[in-house]
């Protein structure tokens, strides 16, 4: 009963199966039974299939012999499988998987074929494989390192072109623990620990010579537990390098700005050039137009070592006929691909190959050499050219400063000599002059009575000459004392100084009934005695010239402060100064106007010297009536002191 019921169920399953099923005679390979689905597959009634041989409906390329072999295999081993590319009932391509199973029926053996349409499964599998391959290709070629870590920090995946820089193949890291493999890199360990704690981390890390920007992203499962850490590391070594170069260059500009000597600047430029290009053979030459030759002024230690010389100055100069000199005159940055091929190199024995020559305007040339045939990329060239123009400007500034300094030293020397001369002349002239005037006096007092009128006149001329010479010598001494007897600069109240000066001149002022009006005078940083001398000389002049012109003197003194200087004005109502004389009045021994005015004409020269010593200036202001003198003195700079 049970078997009957079982047979009925099998019958239903057999007939209702959506997959075609066929039962074959194991010995002959002919179909003995087929279900509805099989009929549908072959486009006929199931009974029509009975009696057909497998070979009759197997796809092309699968022969009857192949079919017999397959059935025999199933009959022997119990099962066999084959996949057929065939044509479905609607004419579309179809992939079917044929699974053969042995079934014993009494002493006869049957082989049951289950046919399953795997077209869509195979298609999905194919697509998946294709995608997976694409992803692998993509990962393998990304210029990064991609890796994943399990919650214990063990690498579960590693790929990316970036691995090459680390000397690794994709997958090399897989199975190793980051805590072991990178135990020497505390930055990495710290970042991984944070990521495993569930934090997203983005850090810059160094591995040997390389710099990576690495991103660690924790991935959690549905329950919120850490599943893995996905990480991408980008090699930013080149980027960093570029940043460093630009920094080196901007540092160079600063350093060059503070270099005082040509050699200091040159050494600095050589160092920086080396930092920019990693070529340690850098040297700098200075151009001498006198003999059309470039002379070395600075070099890196590697460069002097390479040339086998002690200092940069011992490097061979680049004479007028050398190839380097020719490049200098083109003013164009030039790469000599192979130094050994040059016909007229300045250093034929130097085993140098590539040489980059960067002319520095008309100052000289920066050369960067390599022992091998090297190339300089656009970036390097660009930065080096900026360096070259900075160097050129720096060297030009130094040259200008040096010229200025030597000119200044020369001026100081000549000024000092003049000073010395004036002092000695006035001092040593005193003695013989005293002899002349004393003995003329003595002659006059002892023999005056014996002289006739003419002799007395001669005597008078001699006395007058000696007196005037004496005055000039005194004046010269006063002039030279502006420097030798100079006092320190201090905060000076010009109003108090003027008051003292007026006291000293009181008698003269009262004598000629002079009026002096003083405005408010801002404080100055000056030698108070010398400020007094300036006031005294200007006032005396004003009084004398006005009085001589029969004018009652009226003098105004005022001052104005602007920026860091105070401008003083001393104006009078005297005859004034002709335009042509306005500059000459400050010359030593120059006398303005009539020559019978007392004095030696040294007063204004002394004033000018005093004002110049204070870094100020003095001049005659054009004016229609009277004379107007102006001079400047440094103002007192506000210092925040104690309250």
Closest to 259 in 3D by CA, of 394, 409, 367, 385? 394
Instruction: Provide the b/e sequence for 210-246 (b: ≥16 CB within 10 Å).
Output: bbbbbbbebeeeeeeebebbbbbbbbbeeebeeeebe
Among 239-247, 441-449, 541-549, 565-573, the segment contacting another protein (CB under 8 A): 441-449
Question: Rounded to the nearest whole angstrom, what is the least distance from the CB of residue 539 to another protein in the complex?
Answer: 25
Candidate residues 10, 220, 421, 439; the one interacting with another protein per rule CB under 8 A:
439
- Is residue 127 near another protein by the rule CB under 8 A? no
Distance CA 476, CA 30 (A): 146
Q: Which is nearer to another protein, 440 or 546 (CB)?
A: 440
Q: CB of 226 within 8 A of CB of 218? A: yes
- Is residue 445 near another protein by the rule CB under 8 A? yes
Sheet holding 21-25, edge to edge: 31-34, 21-25, 108-117, 93-105, 79-87
- Is residue 438 near another protein by the rule CB under 8 A? yes
Q: Which is nearer to another protein, 477 or 604 (CB)?
A: 477
Question: Rounded to the nearest whole angstrom, what is the least distance from the CB of residue 475 to another protein in the complex?
Answer: 14
Q: Which is nearer to another protein, 21 or 422 (CB)?
A: 422
Q: Which is nearer to another protein, 309 or 459 (CB)?
A: 459
Candidate residues 107, 221, 310, 431; the one interacting with another protein per rule CB under 8 A:
431
Distance CA 285, CA 358 (A): 10
Candidate residues 127, 202, 413, 427; the one interacting with another protein per rule CB under 8 A:
427
Helix H or strand E encompassing 285 = strand 281-288
Q: CB of 632 within 8 A of CB of 566? A: yes
Q: Which is nearer to another protein, 260 or 434 (CB)?
A: 434
Distance CA 115, CA 49 (A): 14
Candidate residues 435, 455, 512, 594; the one interacting with another protein per rule CB under 8 A:
435
Q: Which is nearer to another protein, 9 or 442 (CB)?
A: 442
Q: Which is nearer to another protein, 430 or 529 (CB)?
A: 430
Question: Rounded to the nearest whole angstrom, what is the least distance from the CB of residue 435 to another protein in the complex?
Answer: 5
Among 198-206, 243-251, 308-316, 426-434, the segment contacting another protein (CB under 8 A): 426-434
Among 180-188, 344-352, 359-367, 425-433, the segment contacting another protein (CB under 8 A): 425-433
Contacting residues for 508 by C-beta, under 8 A, at least 6 apart: 514, 540, 543
Beta strand 515-518 with 554-562: parallel, antiparallel or unpaired? parallel
Question: Rounded to the nearest whole angstrom, what is the least distance from the CB of residue 261 to another protein in the complex?
Answer: 39
Total residues at interface with another protein (CB under 8 A) = 15
Question: Rounded to the nearest whole angstrom, what is the least distance from the CB of residue 529 to another protein in the complex?
Answer: 13
Residue 577: C-alpha distances to residues 20, 478, 506, 568, 603 (Å): 133, 24, 25, 18, 15
Q: Which two structure tokens, joined as six digits, stand for 23?
A: 């039962």
Question: Rounded to the nearest whole angstrom, what is the least distance from the CB of residue 456 to another protein in the complex?
Answer: 17
- Is residue 430 near another protein by the rule CB under 8 A? yes
Candidate residues 433, 496, 504, 518; the one interacting with another protein per rule CB under 8 A:
433
Distance CA 369, CA 353 (A): 7
Q: Which is nearer to another protein, 473 or 516 (CB)?
A: 473
Distance CA 248, CA 242 (A): 10
- Is residue 485 near another protein by the rule CB under 8 A? yes
Residue 558: C-alpha distances to residues 536, 565, 566, 570, 628 (Å): 15, 14, 10, 7, 11
Q: Which is nearer to another protein, 441 or 495 (CB)?
A: 441
Largest CA distance in the chain: 193
Question: Rounded to the nearest whole angstrom, what is the least distance from the CB of residue 466 to another protein in the complex?
Answer: 8
Q: Which is nearer to another protein, 103 or 469 (CB)?
A: 469
* Interactions with another protein, residue window 87-106 (CB under 8 A): none
Q: Which is nearer to another protein, 186 or 599 (CB)?
A: 599
Distance CA 192, CA 350 (A): 52
Q: Which is nearer to another protein, 329 or 427 (CB)?
A: 427
* Interactions with another protein, residue window 450-479 (CB under 8 A): 470, 477
Question: Rounded to the nearest whole angstrom, what is the least distance from the CB of residue 473 to another protein in the complex?
Answer: 10
Closest to 370 in 3D by CA, of 349, 391, 334, 339? 339
Question: Rounded to the nearest whole angstrom, what is the least distance from the CB of residue 484 to another protein in the complex?
Answer: 9
Q: Which is nearer to another protein, 466 or 636 (CB)?
A: 466
Among 56-64, 141-149, 343-351, 430-438, the segment contacting another protein (CB under 8 A): 430-438
**CB 107: neighbour CB atoms within 10 A?**
5
Question: Rounded to the nearest whole angstrom, what is the least distance from the CB of residue 431 to another protein in the complex?
Answer: 5
Among 68-76, 215-223, 396-404, 434-442, the segment contacting another protein (CB under 8 A): 434-442
Q: Which is nearer to another protein, 30 or 437 (CB)?
A: 437
Question: Rounded to the nearest whole angstrom, what is the least distance from the CB of residue 603 to another protein in the complex?
Answer: 20
Instruction: Provide the b/e sequence for 136-160 (b: ≥16 CB within 10 Å).
Output: eeebeeeebbbbbbeeebbbebbbb
Question: Residue written as tokens 């072999």?
Answer: 69
Write each residue from 501 to 540 as x if it is in contact with another protein (CB under 8 A), else as -, in one continuous string: ----------------------------------------
- Is residue 441 near another protein by the rule CB under 8 A? yes
Cα 223 from chain centroid (whole Å): 52
- Is residue 442 near another protein by the rule CB under 8 A? yes
Distance CA 427, CA 481 (A): 11
- Is residue 10 near another protein by the rule CB under 8 A? no
DSSP string, 92-138: -EEEEEEEEEEEEETTEEEEEEEEEE-HHHHHHHHHHHHHHHHHHHH
- Is residue 437 near another protein by the rule CB under 8 A? yes
Q: Which is nearer to another protein, 449 or 642 (CB)?
A: 449
DSSP string, 11-78: HHHHHH-SS-EEEEETTT-BEEEE-HHHHHHHTS-HHHHTT-BHHHHSPTT--HHHHHHHHHHHHHHS
Residues in contact with another protein by CB under 8 A are 427, 430-431, 433-435, 437-439, 441-442, 445, 470, 477, 485
């Amino acid at each position: 009963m049970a078997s009957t019921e079982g047979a009925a169920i099998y019958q239903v399953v057999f007939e209702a199966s959506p997959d075609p099923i066929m039962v074959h005679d194991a010995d002959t390979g002919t179909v003995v039974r087929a279900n509805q689905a099989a009929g549908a597959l072959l486009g006929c009634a199931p009974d029509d299939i009975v009696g057909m041989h497998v070979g009759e409906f197997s796809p092309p390329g699968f022969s009857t012999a192949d079919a017999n072999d397959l059935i025999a295999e199933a009959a022997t081993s119990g099962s066999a499988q084959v996949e057929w590319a065939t044509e479905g009932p609607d004419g579309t391509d179809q992939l079917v998987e044929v699974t053969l199973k042995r079934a014993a029926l009494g002493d006869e053996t049957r082989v049951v074929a289950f046919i399953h349409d795997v077209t869509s499964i195979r298609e999905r599998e194919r697509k998946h494989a294709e995608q997976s391959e694409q992803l692998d290709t993509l990962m393998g070629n990304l210029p990064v390192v991609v890796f994943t870590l399990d919650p214990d920090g063990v690498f579960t995946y590693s790929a990316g072109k970036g691995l090459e820089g680390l000397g690794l193949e994709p997958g090399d890291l897989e199975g190793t623990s980051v805590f072991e493999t990178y135990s020497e890199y505390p930055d990495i360990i710290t970042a991984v620990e944070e990521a495993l704690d569930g934090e997203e981390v983005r850090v810059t890390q160094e591995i040997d010579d390389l710099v990576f920007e690495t991103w660690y992203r924790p991935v959690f499962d549905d329950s919120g537990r850490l599943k893995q850490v996905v990480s991408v590391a980008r090699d930013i070594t080149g980027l960093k390098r570029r940043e460093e170069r630009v920094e080196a260059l901007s540092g160079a500009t600063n350093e060059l700005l503070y270099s005082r000597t040509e050699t200091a600047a040159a050494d600095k430029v050589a160092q920086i050039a080396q930092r920019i290009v990693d070529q340690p053979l850098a040297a700098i030459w200075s151009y001498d137009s006198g003999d059309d030759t470039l002379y070395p002024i600075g070099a890196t230690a590697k460069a002097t070592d390479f040339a086998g010389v002690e200092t940069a100055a011992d490097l061979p100069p680049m004479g007028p006929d050398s190839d380097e000199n020719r490049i200098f005159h083109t003013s164009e940055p030039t790469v000599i691909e192979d130094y050994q091929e040059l016909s007229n190199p300045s250093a034929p024995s130097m085993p140098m190959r590539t040489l980059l020559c960067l002319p520095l305007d008309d100052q000289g040339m920066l050369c960067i050499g390599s022992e091998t045939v090297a190339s300089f990329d656009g970036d390097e060239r660009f930065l080096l050219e900026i360096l070259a123009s900075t160097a050129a400007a720096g060297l030009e500034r130094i040259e200008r400063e040096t010229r200025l300094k030597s000119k200044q030293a020369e001026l100081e020397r000549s000024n000092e000599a003049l000073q010395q001369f004036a002092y000695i002349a006035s001092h040593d002239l005193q003695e013989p002059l005293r002899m002349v005037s004393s003995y003329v006096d003595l002659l006059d007092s002892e023999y005056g009575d014996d002289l006739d009128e003419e002799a007395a006149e001669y005597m008078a001329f001699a006395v007058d000459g000696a007196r005037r010479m004496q005055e000039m010598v005194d004046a010269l001494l006063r002039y030279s004392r502006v420097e030798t007897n100079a006092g320190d600069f201090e905060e000076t109240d010009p109003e108090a100084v003027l008051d003292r000066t007026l006291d000293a001149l009181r008698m003269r002022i009262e004598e000629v009934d002079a009026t002096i009006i003083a405005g408010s005078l801002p404080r100055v940083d000056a030698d108070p005695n010398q400020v007094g001398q300036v006031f005294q000389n200007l006032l005396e002049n004003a009084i004398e010239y006005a009085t001589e012109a029969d004018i009652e003197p009226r003098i105004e003194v005022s001052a104005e402060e602007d920026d860091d200087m105070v401008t003083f004005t001393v104006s009078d109502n005297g005859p004034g100064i002709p335009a042509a004389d306005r500059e000459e009045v400050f010359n030593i021994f120059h006398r303005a106007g009539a020559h019978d005015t007392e004095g030696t004409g040294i007063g204004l020269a002394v004033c000018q010297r005093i004002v110049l010593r204070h870094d100020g200036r003095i001049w005659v202001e054009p004016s229609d009536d009277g004379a107007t003198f102006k001079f400047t003195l440094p103002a007192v700079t506000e210092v925040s002191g104690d309250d």
